[in-house]
């Protein structure tokens, strides 16, 4: 029987924390003799950001191949250190790079997709009785080049390995005790959730909650792999992300606040077939993720178009939007950084009408103006002034989470 465990950067941020994770792994191993352990690691907390900063300091145009070689070192360091720590505590362990672990990807540097997993080496090492530590977030292309899988993708490495190894369990450890009804550092009344569906967790990731990487949740959903999330610092039970909860789903299981987005508007856009495609295709080609698109009612053949992007993409987005606006004969391009997105997520919404109205009236009672609204079957997002974000979060949480 194989168990895959993934440890995030905060759990491995210092030598002491690495020793602590090693201790946990060794103790687990002694308790459960028959189980083979595959451990996937992130880089030590802050490392990937630091490496990207360094690269930006020496070059204005980062080249994917070199950047990937640079970033991959982060996970190589943490995997080796963890293997050393485990061995010094008396268990047998070996660290493997993504390439050595058989993670084969396409050639798209810095955002590679996993094409296949050749688990031969891992299985061999497990047979020798070793704990196998795999550097997450990285792989190798068919040309033998080191690739990385995108930010936060050591979660994805763990889920993919769990699937390929037919693992009994996939456990994701970080510095938080699980998934809460809202970020507990912002809402004191937030409660830990014992079980949540893949779809809710996906919406949460999309709404900016720091849960797990969205791609990893998607993959787990595709193969029906339950994900056990929890803290490496605590023995408390965490949250299971799985198909449908056994009990009846709550109306709202989670409230999120995202303060890292900006609103972009293109005014006086000709209301004609094909125009939206002409606007959003170049933005997508630039790798910018667009959210919450809203188009006003057409007046005299023209409409205004607004959407949100991550704040760090704002400058690039405006540049592209201005160019497109000129090409299609639209008016000005405006932006608003002073926004926050408050969302409610819950499977129970599917079968209970009136949830949106309840959310809007709570905001109204608190004197909070709504600038944009979007919905899905299990999510309602509102954009409000940034200064009202936390107040909105708390008021909405109080309304729906009892
Ligand atoms: N170290 C990588 C990052 O910071 C991958 C990960 O942590 O999941 O994005
Ligand atoms: Mg991470």
Separation of alpha carbons 113 and 107, rounded Å: 8
Report, in angstroms and rounded to the nearest whole number, the Rg of the chain calculated over CA atoms.
23
pLDDT at 297: 82
pLDDT at 139: 98
Distance from the alpha carbon of residue 153 to the mean position of ligand 1, in angstroms: 6
Distance from the alpha carbon of residue 79 to the mean position of ligand 1, in angstroms: 13
Separation of alpha carbons 274 and 123, rounded Å: 52
Ligand index nearest the alpha carbon of residue 47? 1
With a cut of 70, say whether residue 246 has pLDDT above it. no
Give residue ranges with CB within 6 A of ligand 1: 9, 42-43, 48, 74, 136-137, 151-155
Q: What mean pLDDT do residues 135-157 have?
A: 97
Distance from the alpha carbon of residue 289 to the mean position of ligand 2, in angstroms: 19
With a cut of 80, say whether residue 242 has pLDDT above it. yes
Q: What mean pLDDT do residues 43-60 have?
A: 96
Q: Which residues surround ligand 2, an ion (CB under 5 A)?
A: 8, 42, 152
Ligand index nearest the alpha carbon of residue 70? 1
Distance from the alpha carbon of residue 8 to the mean position of ligand 2, in angstroms: 5
pLDDT at 341: 97
Nearest CA to ligand 1 atom 9: 151
pLDDT tens-digit series, residues 360-388: 999 999 999 999 999 999 999 999 999 99
Ligand index nearest the alpha carbon of residue 135? 1
With a cut of 80, say whether residue 245 has pLDDT above it. no
Distance from the alpha carbon of residue 147 to the mean position of ligand 1, in angstroms: 13
CB 145 within 8 A of CB 89: no
CB 388 within 8 A of CB 340: yes
Atom of ligand 1 nearest to the CA of 137: 5
Lowest-pLDDT range of 32-46, 127-141, 163-177, 287-301: 287-301
Nearest CA to ligand 1 atom 6: 152
pLDDT at 27: 95
Mean pLDDT, the chain, integer: 95
pLDDT at 244: 78
pLDDT at 33: 87
- In percent, the amount of the chain with pLDDT more than 90 equals 90
Cβ atoms within 10 Å of 79's Cβ, excluding its own: 29
pLDDT tens-digit series, residues 10-26: 999 999 999 999 999 99
pLDDT at 357: 95
Nearest CA to ligand 1 atom 5: 152
Separation of alpha carbons 300 and 304, rounded Å: 12
Distance from the alpha carbon of residue 151 to the mean position of ligand 1, in angstroms: 5
> Given ligand 1 and candidates 52, 153, 158, 232, which is best to mutate, with the most ligand atoms within 8 Å of its CB?
153
Q: How far apart are the first and last CA of the chain?
A: 40
Atom of ligand 1 nearest to the CA of 42: 7
Distance from the alpha carbon of residue 158 to the mean position of ligand 1, in angstroms: 12
Separation of alpha carbons 61 and 65, rounded Å: 12
Q: Which residue has better confidence, 250 or 67?
A: 67
pLDDT at 210: 83
Nearest to 96 by CA among 117, 111, 116: 117
Ligand index nearest the alpha carbon of residue 156? 1
Distance from the alpha carbon of residue 180 to the mean position of ligand 1, in angstroms: 22
Atom of ligand 1 nearest to the CA of 157: 8
Atom of ligand 1 nearest to the CA of 75: 1
Distance from the alpha carbon of residue 48 to the mean position of ligand 1, in angstroms: 6
- Cα–Cα separations (whole angstroms), residue 312 to 12, 96, 158, 288: 27, 33, 28, 10
pLDDT tens-digit series, residues 322-349: 999 999 999 999 999 999 999 999 999 9
Confidence of residue 248 (pLDDT cuts 50, 70, 90): confident
- In percent, the amount of the chain with pLDDT more than 70 equals 99
pLDDT tens-digit series, residues 195-217: 999 999 999 999 988 889 999 99
Q: What mean pLDDT do residues 185-202 have?
A: 95
Separation of alpha carbons 178 and 280, rounded Å: 36
pLDDT at 260: 95
The 3-state secondary structure of the chain reads: CEEEEEECHHHHCCHHHHHHHHHHHHHHHHHCCCCEEEEEECCCCCHHHHHHHHHHHHCCCCCHHHHHHHHHHHHHHHHHHHHHHHHHCCCCEEEECCCCCCEEECCCCCCCCEEEECCHHHHHHHHCCCEEEEECCEEEECCCCEEECCCCCHHHHHHHHHHHCCCCEEEEEECCCCCECCCCCCCCCCCECCEEEHHHHHHHHHCCCCCCCHHHHHHHHHHCCCEEEEECCCCCCCEEEECCCCCCCCCCCEEEEECCEEEEEEEEEECCCCHHHHHHHHHHHCCCCCEEEEECCCECCEEEEEEEEEHHHHHHHHHHHHHHHHHHCCCCEEEECCEEEEEEECHHHHHCCCHHHHHHHHHHHCCCCCCEEEEECCEEEEEEEHHHHHHHHHHHHHHHCC
With a cut of 70, say whether residue 234 has pLDDT above it. yes
| Contacts (Cβ under 8 Å, ≥6 apart) of 181 | 187, 190, 191, 193, 253, 254, 255, 397, 401
pTM greater than the 0.85 cutoff: yes
pLDDT at 35: 96
pLDDT at 62: 85
Residue 215, judged by CB atoms within 10 A of its CB (0-12, 13-18, 19+), counts as buried
CATH architecture, domain defined by 2-175: 3-Layer(aba) Sandwich (3.40)
Q: Indicate the domain borders of the chain.
A: 2-175
Ligand index nearest the alpha carbon of residue 74? 1
Q: What mean pLDDT do residues 111-130 have?
A: 97
> Given ligand 1 and candidates 71, 76, 154, which is best to mutate, with the most ligand atoms within 8 Å of its CB?
154
């Amino acid at each position: 029987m194989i168990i895959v465990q993934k440890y995030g950067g905060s759990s491995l941020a210092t030598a002491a924390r690495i020793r602590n994770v090693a201790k946990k792994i060794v103790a687990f191993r002694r308790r459960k003799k028959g189980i083979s352990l595959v451990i996937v690691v992130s880089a030590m907390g802050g490392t990937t950001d630091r490496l990207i900063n360094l690269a930006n300091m020496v070059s204005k145009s980062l080249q994917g191949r070199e950047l990937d070689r640079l970033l991959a070192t982060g996970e190589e360091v943490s995997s080796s250190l963890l293997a050393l720590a485990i061995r010094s505590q008396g268990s047998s362990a070996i660290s493997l790079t993504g390439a050595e672990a058989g993670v084969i990807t396409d050639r798209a540097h810095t955002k590679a997709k996993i094409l296949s997993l050749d688990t031969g080496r891992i299985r061999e090492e497990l047979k020798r009785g070793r704990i196998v530590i795999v550097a997450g977030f990285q792989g190798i292309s068919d040309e033998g080049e080191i690739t990385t899988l995108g930010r936060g993708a050591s979660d994805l490495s763990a889920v993919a390995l769990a699937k390929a190894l037919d693992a009994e369990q996939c456990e994701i450890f970080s510095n938080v005790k699980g998934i809460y009804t809202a970020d507990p550092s912002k809402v004191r009344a937030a409660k830990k959730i014992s079980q949540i569906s893949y779809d809710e967790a996906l919406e949460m990731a999309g709404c900016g909650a720091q849960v797990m990487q969205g791609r990893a949740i998607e993959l787990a959903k595709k193969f029906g792999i339950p994900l056990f999330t929890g803290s490496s610092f605590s023995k408390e039970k965490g949250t299971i992300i799985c198909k449908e909860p056994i009990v009846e789903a709550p109306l709202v299981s989670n409230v999120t606040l995202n303060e890292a987005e900006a609103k972009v508007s293109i005014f006086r856009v000709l209301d004609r077939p094909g125009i939206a495609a002409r606007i959003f295709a170049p933005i997508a080609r630039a790798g910018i993720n667009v959210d919450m698109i809203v188009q006003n009612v057409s007046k005299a053949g023209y409409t205004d178009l607004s959407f949100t992007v991550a704040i760090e993409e704002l400058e690039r987005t405006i540049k592209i939007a201005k160019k497109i606006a000129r090409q299609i004969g639209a008016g000005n391009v405006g932006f608003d950084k002073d926004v926050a997105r408050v969302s409610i997520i819950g499977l129970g919404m599917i079968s209970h009408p009136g949830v949106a109205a309840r959310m809007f009236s709570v905001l109204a009672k608190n004197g909070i103006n709504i600038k944009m609204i979007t919905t899905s079957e299990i999510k309602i997002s509102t954009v409000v002034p940034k200064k009202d974000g936390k107040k909105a979060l708390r008021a909405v949480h109080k309304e729906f989470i009892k």
